């Protein structure tokens, strides 16, 4: 805890004064363009990986970067998605999984979670991805987990489309969904190509080429 307190004091003394104008602009409003949904894993920091400023990303983080399908009793994730899309008018949503994900490892390897019933219940939202992954042939345990990470990203994108605010924004042509997988060791991101259903290096993704041509675009 002392490290965290010391970090804040350094921020207050050294970083904040240099960014005072930015925080002054953010003090009364926010206008993020992207909702970024990632895992709670301490090794995945959305703002660091994407090199975004405060105010640029509206972030949801939870175990397994999960988005439950819309239902009669929406929880915190559903409410946050709805607020981002309907109120903040984000133009993009990114669902970003990552390598060595503990949640996806537990699902892929059928780990016993009796001692963590809340986690076990939460991971039921990966059932569609789990069933698809179980019917694939995997060369190794690592390959099984890596595949589960990718299938889960696809499943959560599908779940997002059940949310009324998301469906409406897509029909209106003002919202795009993106699936990413971040590799911790290499720093690489693979992105889902919706046309082929495969993940390709982000630098080779069609949206990345567009972003390089127009730097203000979101991938």
pLDDT for residue 72: 77
User: Which residues of the chain are modeled with pLDDT < 50?
Assistant: 215-219
> What integer pLDDT is reported at residue 207 of this predicted model?
74
DSSP letters, the chain, are: -HHHHHHHHHIIIIIHHHTHHHHHHHTS----SEEEEEE--TT--HHHHHT--TTSEEEEEETTS--PPP-SS--HHHHHHHIIIIIS--SEEEEEEETT-HHHHHHHTT---TT-HHHHHHGGGGHHHHHHHHTS--SSHHHHHHHHHHHHHHHHHHHHTTSHHHHHHHHTT--EEEEEEE-TTT--EEEEETTTTEEEEGGGSHHHHHHHHSTT---
Q: What is the largest CA-CA distance in the chain?
A: 55
Q: What is the pLDDT of residues 170-218, one digit of tens each?
A: 999 999 999 999 999 999 999 999 889 999 999 888 777 666 665 444 3
Strands 34-39 and 92-98: parallel
- Which of 58, 72, 51, 76 minimizes the C-alpha distance to 189? 51
- With tokens 């994900």, the residue in question is 101
Q: Within a 13 Å sphere around the CA of 202, how many CA atoms are in the beta-carbon half?
A: 19
- The CA–CA distances, whole Å, from 120 to 33, 72, 103, 123, 124 equal 33, 21, 9, 5, 7
**Cα–Cα dist 180/218, whole Å:** 13
pLDDT given for residue 168 in this prediction = 98
What is the domain class of 31-213 according to CATH? Answer: alpha beta
For the question of whether the overall pTM of this predicted structure is more than 0.85, the answer is: yes
Going from N- to C-terminal start, the domains of the chain cover 1-30, 31-213
């Amino acid at each position: 805890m002392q490290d965290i307190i010391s970090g804040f004091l350094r921020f207050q003394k050294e970083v904040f004064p240099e960014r005072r104008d930015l925080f002054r602009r953010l003090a009364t409003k926010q206008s993020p363009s992207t909702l970024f949904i990632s895992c709670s894993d301490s090794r995945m920091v959305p703002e660091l990986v994407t090199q975004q400023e405060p105010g640029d990303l509206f972030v949801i983080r939870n175990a397994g970067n999960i988005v439950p399908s819309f239902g009669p009793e929406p929880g915190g994730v559903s409410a946050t998605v709805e607020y981002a899309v309907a109120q903040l008018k984000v133009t993009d949503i990114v669902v970003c999984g990552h390598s060595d994900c503990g949640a996806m490892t537990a699902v892929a390897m059928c780990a016993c979670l009796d001692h963590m019933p809340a986690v076990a219940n939460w991971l039921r939202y990966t059932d569609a991805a789990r069933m698809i992954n179980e019917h694939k042939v995997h060369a190794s345990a690592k390959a099984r987990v890596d595949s589960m990470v990718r299938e889960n990203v696809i499943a959560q994108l599908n779940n997002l489309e059940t949310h009324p605010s998301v469906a409406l924004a897509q029909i209106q042509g003002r919202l795009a969904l993106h699936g990413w997988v971040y590799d911790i060791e290499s720093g690489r991101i693979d992105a889902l190509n919706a046309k082929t259903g495969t993940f390709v290096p982000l630098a080779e993704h069609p949206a990345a080429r567009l972003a390089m041509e127009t730097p203000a675009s979101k991938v």
